[in-house]
Amino acid sequence: MAERTGKRIAILALHIESNRFAPPVGRADFEEKVLLYGDEIMADAAREHPRMVGTMTGFIHAMNQAGPWTPVPIVNADVGAAGPIDHEFFLELQAEMRERLEAAMPLDGVYFGEHGAAVSTEIPDPDGVLFKMARDVVGPDVPIISTLDLHTNISEEMVDATDALIIYRTNPHVDQYERGVEAAGSMHELLGNVTATTAFIRLPLVAPQVTQLTASGPYGEIIDYGQTLIDDTVMNISIAGGFTYGDTPQNGMAFLVTTRDDMATARRICRDLAERVWNYRERFTPNLTSLEDCIAGAVARGEDHTTPSTIIADVADNPGGGGRGNTAWLLQGLYEAGAKDVILGVFNDAALAAEAHEKEVGETFEASFNRDEPDQYSNPFAAEATILALSDGKIIGRDPGSRKNMSINLGPTTALQVGAITVIVISIRQQCIDPGYFENFGVSVADARTVVVKSRGHFRAGFLPYFPPERVIECDAPGLTSPNFENFEWNGFKRPIYPLDQDADWTPPNW
């Protein structure tokens, strides 16, 4: 092959975090986000503002810098957090990946930029299926490495089919690019003489998503401790917090220690990490504020400007966890209580945004929020609203975390004044992770007394300059991503599991 210079590395990704309680997604949903084939992947990685997640661009950039190689871009399918992937579409995607991998043989390595918390409408572990498919195609000797979101649910199949799994170490995720770069480094090692050996433990512990921050707290502590053990033998230590709402048999905090062919060391460290966490498992308890108290606090701040402004995270309606971004419990409560100087974003309602776009800035109309999807997880609300701004919703991310510099498309967007509340209404579902989601539409975050964001935790990086951790409140409202486990009917977990089963037990493996 004339163009063959350097190693031939396949690049592919299914990037979805599936909330089993949310509506399924198919090809059209992926196309609306990021569905790229072949050379489109390399073209996107070369853009100033790529659409792919940072692990993909980090891997590609690092491989480019390290010297001649032959990238074999296959498929990048990224829909972010959503519901289960439609099984028919998953089978199509799997077939496309397999065909393209087979056509590309011989390959020297395979890189997946996976999220790791996919479920389909029929199976609990599409990620494991894809890794195994790749292993079947390339055979036992070709290295397969995947990066994974820290909210991955790790199955035995995922571990068995790959040589190394490299998980983000930050939440909010600010190290995606670095992990992609790390994966490229590991790929070079495995293309040389190094054999990766991994120990894996999964605890019967589903840590509520709001307890998985890494700047401090029980999860951050164990990640930081793990990093002190990296040395010439230990290549990577990855600790998956997991994604509760996947509701799968592979749910549970997971520990992966990858060594340069030293299984005894991998096992010793893996067991140490898991035991430490199991011994303090009761620390993974959410600290939520009731809806009533959130509203009362906002009313008080609107009256008394000597108190510090505060941000309320509507953690139960987090589009970054598969929420629809359209519950109105906080909006309605704040409106009816007469809370002042409140800004709320981003409310996902394409019908409402479209209606506003048929009108002019300054017009007043009866705004019907969430007319299309009211159900047990999401209430509707209507009130008179005045249009403050209209936009196509195309912005560049500036939050220092996961979407900095990326092209972000919110779809047709409007800023509405509803009582003393300014609401940003968007048309393409997103979590509100960046002050730019307000400020691009003329709404000041600095001047608000109360900011409400539909996000579980990723807003913390971007909004940190305005709101240090002590001025963040997590609201116990209803919704598809409520950290209040009593709001769901779980049927996928292996039971018993903590904290649903307080008497759940775990015995370390007898290695």
Residues at the interface with Zn ion (CB under 5 A): 149, 151
Give 3-state DSSP helix, strand, coil % of the chain, rounded to 5: 35, 25, 40
Instruction: Tell me the DSSP string of 231-268.
Output: SSSEEEEEEE---GGG--TT-S-EEEEEEES-HHHHHH
Q: Whole-number minimum distance, CB 78 to Zn ion, in Å?
A: 13
Q: Is the dihedral of CA 443, 445, 450, 453 positive or negative?
A: positive
In contact, 21 and 321? CB cutoff 8 Å = no
Q: Whole-number minimum distance, CB 391 to Zn ion, in Å?
A: 27
Sequence-separated (6 or more) residues with CB below 8 Å from residue 221: none
Q: Identify which of residues 196 and 213 has a Cβ nearer to Zn ion in the complex.
A: 213
Q: Is the dihedral of CA 201, 460, 301, 296 positive or negative?
A: negative
Q: Find how far residue 25's CA is from the centre of its chain.
A: 16
Q: Identify which of residues 85 and 291 has a Cβ nearer to Zn ion in the complex.
A: 85
Q: Whole-number minimum distance, CB 328 to Zn ion, in Å?
A: 26
Q: Identify which of residues 17 and 349 has a Cβ nearer to Zn ion in the complex.
A: 17
Q: Identify which of residues 149 and 262 has a Cβ nearer to Zn ion in the complex.
A: 149
CA torsion 353-354-360-363 (nearest 10°) is: -60
CA 70 to each of CA 9, 49, 64, 93, 138: distance values in angstroms, whole numbers, following the listed order: 6, 23, 9, 23, 16
| CA–CA dist 225, 232 (Å, integer) | 17
- The three-class DSSP label of residue 142 is coil
Q: Identify which of residues 100 and 151 has a Cβ nearer to Zn ion in the complex.
A: 151
Q: Whole-number minimum distance, CB 243 to Zn ion, in Å?
A: 7
Q: Whole-number minimum distance, CB 17 to Zn ion, in Å?
A: 6
Q: Whole-number minimum distance, CB 150 to Zn ion, in Å?
A: 5
- The three-class DSSP label of residue 184 is helix
| CA–CA dist 291, 479 (Å, integer) | 12
Q: Identify which of residues 151 and 324 has a Cβ nearer to Zn ion in the complex.
A: 151
Q: Identify which of residues 137 and 256 has a Cβ nearer to Zn ion in the complex.
A: 256
Q: Whole-number minimum distance, CB 92 to Zn ion, in Å?
A: 25
Q: Whole-number minimum distance, CB 192 to Zn ion, in Å?
A: 31
Minimal CA–CA distance to 239: which of 166, 162, 159, 173?
166
Give the CB-nearest residue to Zn ion: 151
Q: Identify which of residues 321 and 393 has a Cβ nearer to Zn ion in the complex.
A: 321
